[in-house]
Amino acid sequence: MQTPLNIAIVGATGSVGEALVEILEERAFPVGDLHLLASMESAGKAVAFRGKNVRVREVDSFDFKQVGLVFFAAGEAVSHTFAPRAIEAGCAVVDLAGALQAPAVVPEANAQAFLAGRKAVSPCSPAIALAVALAPLRGMLAMQQVTVTACLAVSSQGREGVAELARQTAELLNVRPLEPAFFDRQVAFNLLAQVGAPDALGHLTLEKRIAEQLRETLGLPLLSISTTCLQAPVFFGDSLALCIRTQGPVDITQVRAVLSVAPGLELVEEPGDYPTAVGDAVGQDVVYAGRLRPGLDDPCELNLWLVLDNVRKGAALNAVQIAELLIKDLT
Among positions 27, 45, 159, 203, the unique one binding a copy of itself when judged by CB under 8 A: 203
Is there binding between residue 293 and a copy of itself (CB under 8 A)? yes
Nearer to a copy of itself, 51 or 271 (CB): 271
Is there binding between residue 86 and a copy of itself (CB under 8 A)? no
Is there binding between residue 294 and a copy of itself (CB under 8 A)? yes
Among positions 279, 283, 329, 331, the unique one binding a copy of itself when judged by CB under 8 A: 279
Please say whether the beta carbons of 118 and 143 come within 8 A: no
Nearer to a copy of itself, 39 or 145 (CB): 145
Region binding a copy of itself by CB under 8 A among candidate stretches 39-47, 132-140, 288-296, 320-328: 288-296
Is there binding between residue 169 and a copy of itself (CB under 8 A)? yes
Edge-to-edge strand ranges of the sheet holding 31-38: 46-49, 52-58, 31-38, 5-10, 69-72, 92-95, 119-121
Please say whether the beta carbons of 290 and 305 come within 8 A: yes
Please say whether the beta carbons of 236 and 310 come within 8 A: yes
Q: Is 187 helix (H, G, I), strand (E, B) or coil?
A: coil
We find the least distance from the C-beta atom of residue 212 to a copy of itself, in angstroms, to be 9
CA-based radius of gyration for the chain: 20
Nearer to a copy of itself, 40 or 142 (CB): 142
Size of residue set near a copy of itself by CB under 8 A? 61
Alpha-carbon distances of 309 from 73, 165, 240, 314, rounded to whole Å: 16, 18, 12, 6
Q: How far apart are the first and last CA of the chain?
A: 10
We find the least distance from the C-beta atom of residue 297 to a copy of itself, in angstroms, to be 5
Among positions 243, 258, 325, 330, the unique one binding a copy of itself when judged by CB under 8 A: 243
Alpha-carbon distances of 10 from 206, 276, 330, rounded to whole Å: 22, 31, 20
Among positions 71, 72, 114, 305, the unique one binding a copy of itself when judged by CB under 8 A: 305
Q: What are phi and psi of 308, to 5 degrees?
A: -150, 160
Among positions 275, 287, 313, 320, the unique one binding a copy of itself when judged by CB under 8 A: 275
Contacts of 271 (CB under 8 A, 6+ apart): none
We find the least distance from the C-beta atom of residue 183 to a copy of itself, in angstroms, to be 11
176 burial level (CB within 10 Å; 0-12, 13-18, 19+): exposed
Is there binding between residue 167 and a copy of itself (CB under 8 A)? no
Cα within 13 Å of Cα(46), Cβ side? 8
Nearest Cα to Cα of residue 264 among 113, 111, 157? 111
d(CA 3, CA 31): 9
Is there binding between residue 166 and a copy of itself (CB under 8 A)? yes
Among positions 179, 202, 247, 328, the unique one binding a copy of itself when judged by CB under 8 A: 202
d(CA 13, CA 284): 21
We find the least distance from the C-beta atom of residue 155 to a copy of itself, in angstroms, to be 11
Is there binding between residue 211 and a copy of itself (CB under 8 A)? yes
Nearer to a copy of itself, 53 or 224 (CB): 224
Footprint on this chain of a copy of itself (rule: CB under 8 A): 145, 147, 149, 151, 165-166, 169-170, 173, 185-186, 189-194, 197-198, 200-203, 207-208, 211, 224-228, 230, 232-235, 237, 239, 241, 243, 245, 271-272, 274-279, 290-298, 301, 303, 305
